[in-house]
Amino acid sequence: MNRRPLLAGNWKMHTTVIDACQLAAEIGKCSVGVTDRDVLLAPPYTVLSEVAHVLHGSNVLLASQNVCWEEQGAFTGEISPTMVTSVGGRAAIIGHSERRQIFHEDAEIINRRVQGAVKFGLIAIFCVGETLEEREGDRTFEVLEEQVKAGLAGVAPESMKKVVVAYEPVWAIGTGKTATKEQAQEVHAFIRKLLAEMFEKDIADSVRILYGGSVKPDNVDELMAQPDIDGALVGGAALDAESFCRIINFS
């Protein structure tokens, strides 16, 4: 199965308008002519619109870092799928470990977000990952199974073309510690097998599964060479144009 690679940058709570426009322009420039893979940026909400203008006409996709399941209403602090699409956003990151851990977003909320995103036509970049304690306690697969089943509950098989899964071991996010290519491949293959059980093999084979956790220019090539790793969700290194451009151009 030929899955189109996806290199996604999550800027988290970084960049003012000026920084964001400059960074987006540099990334847009190095993405010119990149046609065999998707490049995506998830800037803070405050700069989505400006970044969309900077990227206009480029092939870089825009995403929000989270999304609500409702189109509008009394949801202070949230952003709706139609707000995201209204500025040209095509995707939303959902269930990032920082949302789960710091802001206590639970499985039910995350599932509502995934369902809301796909209902309104966004690509849901659905994140899962175990903590160090869970890995050391030999609970990695159990935890991931729980997260994947809960997060994708009620998602129709035909909506799975709007879902990208991101495996992000919590212990590897922002720590400089990357899962080895073997550890990452093992989990990606597990998730794909699980998707085949939940949906069907063809669907599982077509879903892109990204790896995230300290992806950098010097480890992206070996990670991307794994058969079940279809891309990367990048935090820190996505804030540096040179590093992210190298990641986009993995070989």
Q: Which residues bind ligand PEP (CB under 6 A)?
A: 10, 168, 173-174, 212-215, 233-237
Rounded-to-integer distance, Cα 145 and Cα 21, Å: 39
Work out how close the CB of 93 gets to ligand PEP at its nearest, in angstroms, rounded to a whole number: 8
As measured in angstroms, the least distance from the Cβ of 74 to ligand PEP is 29
Closer by beta carbon to ligand PEP, 151 or else 235: 235
**From 96, 98, 105, 188, the catalytic residue:** 96
The distance of closest approach from Cβ of residue 97 to ligand PEP in the complex, given in angstroms and rounded to an integer, is 8
158 noted as active-site residue: no
Establish whether 222 is a catalytic residue: no
Question: Least distance in Å: CB of 211 to ligand PEP?
Answer: 9
Task: Name the residue number minimizing CB distance to ligand PEP.
Answer: 235
Active-site position among 50, 168, 188, 197? 168
- DSSP per residue over the chain, as a string? --PPPEEEEE-TT---HHHHHHHHHHHHHHTTT--SSEEEEE--GGGHHHHHHHHTTSSEEEEES---SSSSSS-TT---HHHHHHTT--EEEES-HHHHHTS---HHHHHHHHHHHHHTTPEEEEEE---HHHHHTT-HHHHHHHHHHHHTTT--GGGGGGEEEEE--GGGTTSS----HHHHHHHHHHHHHHHHHHS-HHHHHHS-EEEESS--TTTHHHHHTSTT--EEEESGGGGSHHHHHHHHT--
- Our CB check for ligand PEP shows the closer of 91 and 199 to be 91
Residue nearer to ligand PEP on the CB measure, 173 or 248 = 173
**CB of residue 153 to ligand PEP, shortest distance in Å:** 23
Nearer to ligand PEP, 199 or 208 (CB): 208
Beta carbon nearer to ligand PEP, 41 or 199 = 41
Sign of the alpha-carbon dihedral angle for 64, 72, 153, 109: positive
Enumerate the active-site residues. 96, 168
